[in-house]
Structure 1
Amino acid sequence: MKRKIMHLATASIVATAVLAAGCQTIDPYTGETKTASATKGAAIGAGAGALLGILTGDDSKDRRKRALIGAGVGALAGGAVGNYMDQQEAELRQRLAGSGVSVTRVGDEILLNMPGNITFQTDSSDLNPQFFDVLNSVSLVLEEYDKTVVEVVGHTDSTGSAEYNQALSERRAATVATYLANRDIDRQRILAFGQGEMQPVADNSTAAGRAANRRVELTLSPITT
């Protein structure tokens, strides 16, 4: 899915550094030897800040995929794409069952809708503690399916100014992206930006509608030739 990105931002996010441990495995989709990193714990809290760069432009996702292929990540082709995404979707549904996160398949992409009631407190970009388990589960899947690019998009309701909401949505997207990166997901696989109040999914004139609009969406796309 293509989105017009309206704002370039870099956000300061508090993160705990993690170390990667590698071992050689065989990729079940391509037969290639790859290095699989052991999953490490990570948390967002008070401490030293980290900066997350944000790519912009209608083709930002495609440019990131090309860069990853150029760096030797490898790519999927033909019937392997559908099989790869089918298995990834099934594992996400299993791990996220009962979490409040919806899993939607759109062609060869998977959309994870993470509502505001489980992600952030009102007017805050600090992760809710109960959201850690959700992101940990997503990280485990992304680590296994390493030919996937992750687009993290923050959204708000229409309360407050458009400029404030835009900045808040960017901070929230960057927080989620940084958490994933600190769970051993290659930063080059992650894009993050905010859409503020520009893409509501419900009526902002009602409390329920505003709650639905305060969300973070993750779109998972395969790296293909």
Structure 2
Amino acid sequence: MKKYGRVTAFAASLAILAGCTTNPYTGEREAGKAGVYGGLGALGGAVVGAATSSKKDRTKGALIGAAVGGAAAGGYGYYVDTQEAKLRQTLQGTGVQVQRNGDQLTLIMPGNITFGSSSADISSSFYPTLNSLVTVFREFDKNGIDITGHTDSTGSAQLNQDLSNRRAQSVASYLTANGVAASRISAYGAGPNQPIASNATTEGRAQNRRVEINLRPL
């Protein structure tokens, strides 16, 4: 039992080392997003590897488990890091916000740059931005793409629901027409039901009129 404890402690040390990665954008060694994923994956893999190996092979099992777990978890973390950097670079100055929450990325596209008032026809000025998204989505093809249309609370609930549906579908249709796999894409309208600001002010309503794209692991 004592030996198993030493093996587990050794595995934890490996996990910590696996969690320290070199940031490809700064060159600095750090426990960043990918490092955290890799460290947790390595720790889990090491513990499982040690626990499922015979007594004399526990150290070897921990090493193999740490390597496999760290590569799997850290690999996706690094993938998202790289995709996030590419999106921020590509979308700079377009008005599209890029937000990160764990291993999910969200793109927030204000209504004033995507569609005309009360229309589901994509504004001509937004096509270059969508074309940039197509390029990134085709390069990074390990994500599901969830597109959600949102409106403010002005007008009837049914009118807003229909408009948000049609806007989400317009974006989805453009992506698929330009080579993004339809199997990756879902699209629906939330109407006015998910506001991010108060509908009592002009500024708040403008923020609520938006299309969001959530990128998640497939």
Secondary structure of the equivalent of 1:130? helix
CA distance in structure 2 between the aligned counterparts of 1:211 and 1:78, rounded to whole angstroms:
39
In the alignment, structure 1 segments of 5+ residues that lack a partner are 1-75
Shift, 1:130, TM fit: 1.0
The equivalent position to 2:195 in structure 1, one of 200, 205, 209, is: 200
Deviations 1:92-127 (A, max 9, x none): 000000000000011000000000110011100000
Counting helix residues as a fraction of each chain, which structure ranks higher?
2
Q: How does 1:1-225 map to 2 (within 5 A)?
A: 77-223=72-218
Given that residues 101 and 113 in structure 1 are in contact (C-alpha distance below 8 angstroms), is that contact kept between their aligned partners in structure 2?
A: yes
How far apart in 2 are the matches of 1:166 and 1:175? 14
The count of aligned residue pairs is: 148
| Alignment match, 1:26 | none
2:104 maps to amino acid: E
> Residues 148-200 of structure 1: CA distance to partner in whole angstroms, max 9, x if unpaired?
11000000000111111011100000000000111100000000000000001
TM-score (norm 1): 0.65
SS of residue paired to 1:124: coil
SS at match of 1:196: coil
Whichever residue aligns with residue 187 of structure 1, its letter is A
**Secondary structure of the residue that 1:157 maps to in structure 2?**
coil
Specify the SS of the correspondent of 2:147.
strand
Higher share in strand:
1
Q: Which has the larger radius of gyration?
A: 2
Counterpart CA distance in 1 for 2:214 and 2:119 is 22
Separation in 2, partners of 1:221, 1:142: 12
* CA positional deviation for 1:222: 2.0
Answer whether contact 1:142 1:185 (CA < 8 A) is retained: yes
Could you tell me whether the CA contact under 8 Å between 1:150 and 1:191 is conserved in 2?
A: yes
Superposed displacement of residue 78, structure 1: 1.8
Query: Over the residues paired in the alignment, what is the CA RMSD in angstroms?
Result: 1.0
Identity %: 52
How many Å separate the matches in 1 of 2:130 and 2:117? 19
Amino acid at match of 2:188: F
**Deviation of 1:77 (Å):** 3.5
Q: How many angstroms does 1:203 deviate by?
A: 1.0
- 1:160 is paired with a residue of what secondary structure? coil
Letter matched to residue 120 of structure 1:
F
Deviations 1:42-99 (A, max 9, x none): xxxxxxxxxxxxxxxxxxxxxxxxxxxxxxxxxx942111011000000000000000
Match of 2:124, SS state, is coil
What is residue 30 of structure 1 aligned with on the other side? none
Long gaps (5+) in structure 2: 1-70
Aligned mates of 2:164, 2:209 — CA distance in 1: 9
**1:210: how far off?**
0.8
